[in-house]
Amino acid sequence: MNRRQRIRRRAFLLALVCVLAIWGVASSAQAKKYKTLVSVSQQRALTQIGEYLDSIETTLLKATYAATPGMLGRLSDDLMGLSLGAKTGLAALSSGDTALFHMNKFLSQVGEYTDALGQKLARGEALAAEERQRLGELLDTARSLSTRFRYMTDLMDAGTFSFDEIKKELLAAGETADTVSYMNAAADAEDSLKDFPTLIYDGPYSDHITEKSSALLAASAPISSAEALTKAAEALGVKQNLLISVGATAGRLPTYDFYKDGARVSVTVNGGYPAYILSDYTAGEARINMDEALDAAAEYLQKIGYTNMAPTYSMCENGVCVANFAFMEGEYICYPDLIKVGVSLSDGAVVSMDARDYIMNHVSRQIPEETVAAETAVEAAADNLRVERVSRAVIPTGGGYEKFAWELKCADGSGQDVLVYIDTSTGQEDDILILLYADGGALTK
């Protein structure tokens, strides 16, 4: 081999090394990208499982309060959909040698058993105490699983959770692993279900903006940008020359939009109704209480033209009290016509407002004759509930319609507060909501 051939050979080898190096780097990058995508997919699946289990727990709790076949049928449909979602998430995660047979069996049973009870009620048969007890057992199991998967999600968010199996040699050597593996956590959850018995067998209505057109806006004449500026200044409580026009928003709720120092206010093109206020308000030290904040919110709504509004449920967090108000039609509180007002607990100033529910849903309602008396509605509540208060309400339905109902404020034997809605015309259960209390106020699920 002469000198020229040796040089060519070395050049070829050097080029080959470079090509292999580049290929290796590219392959490593591709593998890293694939691993990242897999990790994100696994994290999303775990989060979704936890959300599905949380919803299953809430829906089963509602089922324990249901007393009519229609309501149990609706809840069983919800449970079947939620269970399918949870099982799909489980299938997306590898649990090693654990088949998760009991977990999948439980998820199948929750909807099927509730549906069987609804069919029994439809035949005119009463539910036995044992069947109510079985629903309670399903609820306890759902609550336990929800807690376990919520714990996994918390560990994942803290960076101490892995979807890879912990190496056995580390454990064999007596070392402890800082990271919990999904395989071990899933196996523990599966073990907790081995003794599970075999079963034989719309404040309320927050954020309910429907897809229908607004009758209120359709009956209102359009206003000019100058007129909208006047309305916006009144809503923010500032002089007009301090506001800057930032154009208009089209869509189902056309608005004129204005801005001032971190605050945005929108006024409807038709009718000039203040639609919402958003701001980057930073809370200071609390100097007023919730009752004073509610008074400030009610006074504000009256001032900007929203009259006959009644407070429903409120929540105070991070120095701001968000109060929900609904329109009163005679003795009926109309939950679809909802307005939220955020009041600073520092000085009582209004820092946010959202009247889009009201604008999209408000109409002049014809109150139907009540063919079902309040006493009859109380009797329709489940035996395990104690009715504490009866009032009238208009509630939204999933299809964008409304129903007139008796609102029964109830409590069960453990003190859990529940809202049950009985149709004033048919006597059927229209909805069930769970009341949740926190230090800052009340919420519903």
Q: Two tokens at 160?
A: 């101490």
- 254 touches 269 (CB < 8 A): yes
Q: Two tokens at 318?
A: 């991070």
Residues 383, 342 share a domain: no
- 434 touches 62 (CB < 8 A): yes
The pLDDT value given to residue 91? 79
Residues 268, 351 share a domain: yes
For residue 180, being part of any structural domain is answered with yes
Question: How many domains does one find in the chain?
Answer: 3
Count of helix runs (H) and strand runs (E) in the chain: 11, 15
Name the domain boundary from 361, 382, 413: 361
Q: How many other C-beta atoms lie within 10 A of the C-beta of residue 149?
A: 25
Name the domain boundary from 339, 361, 383: 361
Residues 187, 38 share a domain: yes
Total residues belonging to the chain? 445
Provide the domain limits for residue 386. Answer: 374-444
Q: How many other C-beta atoms lie within 10 A of the C-beta of residue 29?
A: 10
Place of tokens 């080029």: 15
Sign of CA dihedral 375, 381, 383, 385: negative
Output the domain CATH number for residue 382: 3.10.450
For residue 1, being part of any structural domain is answered with no
Rounded Cα gap, residues 215 and 363, in angstroms: 7
Q: Two tokens at 367?
A: 């109150």
Rounded Cα gap, residues 236 and 227, in angstroms: 15
Q: E strands along 230-365, which residues?
A: 244-249, 255-260, 263-268, 274-279, 309-317, 320-329, 332-344, 350-354
* pLDDT averaged over 10-residue windows placed end to end, the chain, 445 residues: 56 54 50 48 84 91 88 85 84 67 83 80 79 87 89 84 56 52 82 72 52 86 95 93 88 89 90 89 81 95 96 85 93 94 92 92 92 95 94 83 93 91 93 79 67
The pLDDT value given to residue 182? 81
| Residues sharing a CB contact under 8 Å with residue 362, sequence separation 6 or more, in sequence order | 215, 216, 327, 334, 336, 337
- 230 touches 239 (CB < 8 A): no
Element holding 326 (H helix, E strand): strand 320-329
Residues 184, 38 share a domain: yes
- 385 touches 420 (CB < 8 A): yes
Residues 404, 432 share a domain: yes
